[in-house]
Amino acid sequence: MRHPIPDGDVLIHAGDFTRRGYTEEVDAFSTFLGTLPHRHKLVIAGNHELTFDPHTVNHGMSCTEAVCNEAVAQIKRRLVNCTYLQDAPATVCGVQVYGSPWQPRFHNWAFNLQRGQALLDKWNCIPADTDVLVTHTPPVGHGDYCILNRHVGCVELLNVVQNRVRPRYHVFGHIHEGYGTTTDGETVFVNAAICDFRYKPVNAPIIFDVPLPEGASKDR
């Protein structure tokens, strides 16, 4: 990496921590996380984590549902140095975080869903009191302009974020060309992609501060 990872209370990774989700890649990532000083490390999967999705875990080879689910469970257990979130919340120092890996269909990668109701059903599970939302896909119009010269983010996600959840921060990745931050005046949108579209780790980690709720402490 060109830029060192700065210290902090919480490290968030918004997916694509492997190339194809192979065991050795997951192990290397988990080991790397173990070297970092952050007290809390929150991770979601991205479309490259093929082995984290039962539909892509066997890389195109057929298997029964039970076998695929067990394979996914085994690979997830290898992430021993972080909290893995998949359509799940976490409370960190009183701050409400929610993580989800889904994105609009993108070739034959992991966690693909059709635009429309299928994705909306996932986003409707996001709690309304979420302070920091972590998804792999960007919402449409924020950090989602790609090399194809078009916006490829999720419309349904933007609607849920702006009209119901309204988190302080929305962290994502997926579209490497969209690195950086934007805001709609209420939510700060953070495309935290470290790699450029050639998969070179040239971008710096993005740092932000979240005020703790009244009565909360970093020591809890």
Tens digits of residue pLDDT in 56-69: 998 666 678 899 99
Give, in order, the Cα–Cα distances in Å from 98 to each of 24, 56, 109, 136. 27, 23, 22, 12
Predicted local confidence at residue 61, as pLDDT: 66
Residue ranges per structural domain of the chain: 10-191
Asked if pLDDT for residue 31 goes beyond 80, the answer is yes
C-alpha to C-alpha distance for 184 and 139, rounded to whole angstroms: 12
Confidence of residue 13 (pLDDT cuts 50, 70, 90): very high
Asked if pLDDT for residue 154 goes beyond 90, the answer is yes
Predicted local confidence at residue 58, as pLDDT: 80
Predicted local confidence at residue 206, as pLDDT: 98
Question: What b-and-e string marks burial along 30-46, b requiring 16 or more CB atoms within 10 Å of the CB?
Answer: beebeeeebebbbbbbb
Asked if pLDDT for residue 77 goes beyond 70, the answer is yes
Q: Where are the beta strands (DSSP E) in 19-60?
A: 40-43
Contacts of 155 (CB under 8 A, 6+ apart): 115, 139, 140
Contacts of 176 (CB under 8 A, 6+ apart): 193, 195, 196, 197, 199
Confidence of residue 148 (pLDDT cuts 50, 70, 90): confident
3-class secondary structure, 4: coil
Give, in order, the Cα–Cα distances in Å from 194 to each of 3, 54, 176, 197. 9, 27, 8, 10
Topology, domain 10-191: Purple Acid Phosphatase; chain A, domain 2 (3.60.21)
Residues in a beta bridge with 135: 100
* Residue written as token pair 């501060």: 209
Asked if 48 and 173 touch (Cβ cutoff 8 Å), the reply is no
Predicted local confidence at residue 60, as pLDDT: 61
Confidence of residue 220 (pLDDT cuts 50, 70, 90): low
Average pLDDT value over all residues in the chain: 95
Q: How many other C-beta atoms are found inside a 10 Å radius of the C-beta of residue 187?
A: 20
* Residue written as token pair 């932000």: 208
C-alpha to C-alpha distance for 15 and 6, rounded to whole angstroms: 18
